Amino acid sequence: MPEPIFEPVAFSDIAGWHADDHAAAMAAFRISAERMAERPYTTKRIGAESVLLAVVAARALELDEGALADGNACRDFFETWFVPHRLRLERTSPRPGWDFDGFVTGYFEPEIEASRECSSEFPVPIFRRPPDLVEFPDSERPVGMPADFFFARRTADGLTEYHDRAAIENGALDGLGLELFWCRNRIELFFVQIQGSARLRLLDGSTQRISYDGKTGHPFTAIGRLLVERGELDADTVSMQKIRSWLETHPDEAPRLMQQNRSYIFFRTVDHPRPVLGPVAAAGVPLTAMRSLAVDHRLHTFGTPVFVETRNPLPNHRAPFASLMIAQDTGSAIVGPARGDLFIGSGDHAGEIAGSIKHPARFIVLLPKAASG
């Protein structure tokens, strides 16, 4: 993986900075600020110093309603308390488009029908986190455990690799009482797991939010890439919608293909603090559409503002994307310093946009001023 390089830049040199809606960015930042007021995040390897970030976050919580509604005042706040740093990937020589050396995809919160009871219509379980699934630090890695595993199964003999998708779908967790809800089919659940959350429409007319609560630890495998390698889909036009269509039209092959993504996600129910917002994500805060960014949490500190620019427009947009985002989530496929996932929103329309985002991008990380010297 190329080593990241942070280059200080001026706000005036950031294309799109002055045109952005800084009041919207501030609203998202203050959601993380409320979390940091209770407990600062952990500083990550190349991320902002969490204690200093919490100091700036506390200042943001002191802003009055007039300042919060004033985009210029919010922009002044970010310019006063942060120094922007262009995140570059070290390369031996420039290449075409090298200035957009990062990459973004999109994700969303699916809405699906579900049941509290198993039935012929809803036969597929949505599992809660098993009690023997544990997360461990690298310092406690068992001998022989792959370096990219950070979840394992705790047994009387120590930690071992957890059951993978194929084993679970073949009954490894049956009879343990781990079923939260039941959905219609494995394809539907597969895409809920990729997104990491969902809004469930239950048969009694109520709704329930579910959110990520751990995984088996196996590396994420993109089945879209496998379909491209097999010649089933075209690399230039592959999208979530086309992957799903392929699975639905190939019912005999779909289970085996999905099982090649050995990673399996578990969920918990969420009493949502702000139902109008998106799901509560890995950083412990609800997501804001078009302002929340999923990052590699092994590298970046949650709560950090990151200005993201894409080389080309997003689907249904006329101009390239250029907005200040807040690092509030992570994901199995989000690996590397210049890799991000844009939270688009909830529901099918958001899913149509999110599923077609695979854009070269550049990242400008805002570091607290005290941390920049």
Cβ neighbours of residue 115 closer than 8 Å, sequence gap 6 or more? 121, 122, 181, 182, 183, 202, 203
- Domain(s) labelled CATH 2.40.240.50 in the chain stretch across 111-270
| Residue 122 to residues 113, 118, 183, Cα–Cα distance (Å) | 9, 6, 5
Give start and end residues of each alpha helix (H) in the chain: 22-38, 50-61, 65-68, 71-81, 165-169, 186-195, 223-229, 240-249, 254-259, 348-354, 369-372
pLDDT reported for residue 373: 41
Q: Comparing C-alpha atoms, which of 322, 319, 321, 315 is closest to residue 356? A: 315
The answer to whether the beta carbons of residues 341 and 107 sit under 8 Å apart is yes
Question: Who contacts 172 (Cβ-Cβ below 8 Å, separation ≥6)?
Answer: 163
Closest CA to 21 of 61, 68, 56: 68
The CB density around residue 169, as the number of other CB atoms within 10 Å, is 18
Strand segments, DSSP code E, in 230-338 are 265-270, 292-294, 305-313, 320-329
d(CA 237, CA 228) in angstroms, rounded, equals 10
- Number of neighbours of residue 323 by Cβ within 10 angstroms: 21
Tell me if 127 sits within 8 A of 174, measured CB to CB: no
This prediction's pTM = 0.83
Q: Which of 67, 57, 62, 64 is nearest to 34 (CA)?
A: 57
Burial-class residue 218 by CB neighbours within 10 Å (0-12, 13-18, 19+): buried
Listed residue (115, 41, 22) closest to 281, CA to CA: 41
CA gap 290, 104 in Å, rounded? 13
- The amino acid occupying position 69 is A
Locate CATH 2.40.40.10 in the chain: 4-108+275-372
What is d(CA 18, CA 187) in angstroms, rounded to the nearest whole number?
43
pLDDT in tens, the chain (373 residues): 667 889 999 999 998 999 999 999 999 999 999 999 999 999 999 999 999 999 999 999 999 999 999 999 999 999 999 999 999 987 655 555 558 899 999 999 999 999 999 999 999 999 999 999 999 888 888 888 888 888 999 999 889 999 999 999 999 999 999 999 999 999 999 999 999 899 999 999 999 999 889 999 999 999 999 999 999 999 989 999 999 999 999 999 999 999 999 999 999 998 877 888 999 888 999 999 999 999 999 999 999 999 999 999 998 889 999 999 999 999 878 999 999 999 999 998 999 999 999 999 999 999 998 644 4
- What CATH class has 111-270? mainly beta
Q: What is the pLDDT of residue 146?
A: 87
What is the full DSSP assignment across 108-128? EE-EEEEBSS--SSS-EEEEB
DSSP code per residue over 157-210: TEEEPPP-HHHHHTTTTTTSS-EEEEES-HHHHHHHHHHTEEEEEETTS-EEEE
pLDDT, position 371: 46
Cα 158 → chain centroid = 30
**CATH class of the domain whose range is 4-108+275-372:** mainly beta
Q: How many angstroms separate the CA atoms of 21 and 26, rounded? A: 9
Amino acid at 326: I
Closest CA to 101 of 310, 306, 301, 297: 310
Q: Tens digits of per-residue pLDDT, 58-96? A: 999 999 999 999 999 999 999 999 999 999 987 655 555
Please state the separation of Cα 260 from the chain's center in Å.
Answer: 21
Cβ atoms within 10 Å of 132's Cβ, excluding its own = 14
